[in-house]
Amino acid sequence: MKSPTPRRLLYGAVAAGAVAAALTCTALASSHREAPFITAHPKVDGTDFYMFNSYESGRAGYVTLIANYQPFEDPQGGPNYYTMDPKALYEIHIDNNGDGVEDLTFQFRFKVTDSGLAVMAGGKSIPVPLSNIGPLSASSTAAQNVTESYTLTLVRGDRRKGQAVQVTDAANGSSTFAKPFDNIGMKSIADYATYANAFIHTVTIPGCNKPGRVFVGQRKDPFVVNLGETFDLVNIKYPVEELAPTGTNARQLAPNSVAGYNVTSLVLEVAASCLTAGSDPVIGAWTTASLRQARVVNPDPEDARSVASVGPVSKPTDASVEGGAWAQVSRLGMPLVNEVVIGLPDKNRWNASKPKNDGQFADYVTNPSLPVLLQTLFGSAGVRAPNVYPRNDLVAVFLTGIQGLNQPAHATAAEELRLNTSTPVTPAASQNDLGVLAGDLSGFPNGRRPIDDVVTIELRVAMGVLLSPFDGSAKDPDPSSDASRQLHYTDGVEPVATDYLTVFPYVNTPLGGSPTSAND
Mapped onto helix, strand or coil, the DSSP state of residue 366 is helix
* Residue 251 or 37, more confident: 37
Q: Does the structure show a pLDDT above 50 at 1?
A: no
* Residues 329, 352: Cα–Cα separation, whole Å: 5
Report the pLDDT value the prediction gives residue 295, as an integer from 0 to 100. Answer: 80
390: alpha, beta or left? (left if phi > 0; alpha if psi -120 to 50): beta
How does DSSP assign 437-506, residue by residue?
GGT-TTSTTSSB-TT--HHHHHHHHHTTTTSTT-SSSSS-S-GGGHHHHTS-B--S----GGGB-SSTT-
Residue of higher predicted confidence among 45 and 517: 45
Mean pLDDT within 208-219: 98
Whether residue 200 has pLDDT greater than 50: yes
Most confident of 10-19, 328-337, 353-362, 506-515: 506-515
Pairing, β 118-121 against β 212-220 = unpaired
Identify the pLDDT of residue 4.
36
pLDDT attached to residue 5: 35
CB 66 within 8 A of CB 263: no
So what's the pLDDT on residue 365?
Answer: 82
Most confident option among 71-75, 163-167, 405-409: 163-167
Look up residue 512 and give its DSSP letter.
Answer: P
- Using alpha carbons, select from 171, 230, 227, 223 the residue that is nearest to residue 198: 171
Residues 343-353 have a mean pLDDT of 83
Query: What does the alpha-carbon distance between residue 189 and residue 194 come to, in Å, rounded to a whole number?
Result: 10
Q: Name the average pLDDT for the chain.
A: 83
What is the C-alpha to C-alpha distance for residues 82 and 112, in angstroms, rounded to an integer?
A: 11
What's the CA dihedral at 66, 211, 408, 463 to 10 degrees?
Answer: 20
Instruction: State the pLDDT at residue 317.
Output: 55
- Predicted pLDDT of residue 347: 81
CB 326 within 8 A of CB 292: yes
* pLDDT recorded at residue 247: 43
Q: How far apart are CA 387 and CA 209, in angstroms?
A: 52
Give yes or no for residue 14 having a pLDDT over 50: no
Residue 520 confidence (pLDDT): 58
Kindly tell me if the per-residue pLDDT of 267 is higher than 50.
yes
Distance CA 28, CA 339 (A): 8
Residue 328 near residue 288, CB atoms below 8 Å: yes
Q: Is 436 helix (H, G, I), strand (E, B) or coil?
A: helix
**Percent above pLDDT 70 for the chain:** 82
Secondary structure (DSSP) of 12-75: HSS-HHHHTT-S-S--S--SSS-STGGGG-GGG-EEEEEEEE--STT-TTEEEEEEEEEEEE-T
Q: How far apart are CA 426 and CA 486, in angstroms?
A: 26
pLDDT of residue 19 exceeding 50 = no
pLDDT of residue 30: 53
pLDDT of 492 reads 79
**pLDDT for 474:** 46
Type of residue at 69: Y
Residues of the chain above pLDDT 90, percent: 54
Would you say residue 249 has pLDDT above 70?
Answer: no
Confidence (pLDDT) at 27: 36
Out of 177-191, 228-242, 321-335, pick the least confident. 228-242
Report CA 178 to chain centroid distance, whole Å. Answer: 22
Asked whether residue 245 carries a pLDDT value surpassing 50, the answer given is no
What pLDDT digit, counting tens, does each position of 390-432 carry? 887 787 767 788 889 999 999 888 889 999 999 999 999 999 9
Rounded to whole angstroms, what are the CA distances from 363 to 341, 356, 376, 430, 432? Answer: 10, 16, 20, 38, 32
Looking at residues 233-262, what average pLDDT do you find?
Answer: 66
CB distance 154 to 164 below 8 Å = yes
pLDDT in tens, 292-335: 998 887 766 555 444 444 555 555 456 778 889 999 999 999 88
The residue with greater pLDDT, 25 or 404, is 404
Q: What are the residue boundaries of the structural domains of the chain, listed by start?
A: 7-499
- Give the pLDDT mean for 32-46: 75
What DSSP character marks residue 107?
A: E
pLDDT for the residue 302: 54
59 burial via Cβ count (<10 Å: 0-12, 13-18, 19+): middle
Q: What is the pLDDT of residue 113?
A: 92
Q: For the residues 15-31, what does the mean pLDDT come to?
A: 33
SS3 150: strand
DSSP letters spanning 367-431: S-SHHHHHHHHHGGGT------SS-GGGHIIIII--TTTT--SS--S---EEEETTSPPPPGGG-
Region 97-124: mean pLDDT is 95
User: Span 106-112, mean pLDDT?
Assistant: 97
Per-residue pLDDT at 448: 97
* Average pLDDT value for residue range 189-214: 97
Q: What is the pLDDT of residues 428-469, one digit of tens each?
A: 999 999 999 899 999 999 999 999 999 888 888 888 877 755
Residue 250 has pLDDT above 60, yes or no: no
What's the average model confidence in pLDDT over 371-400? 83
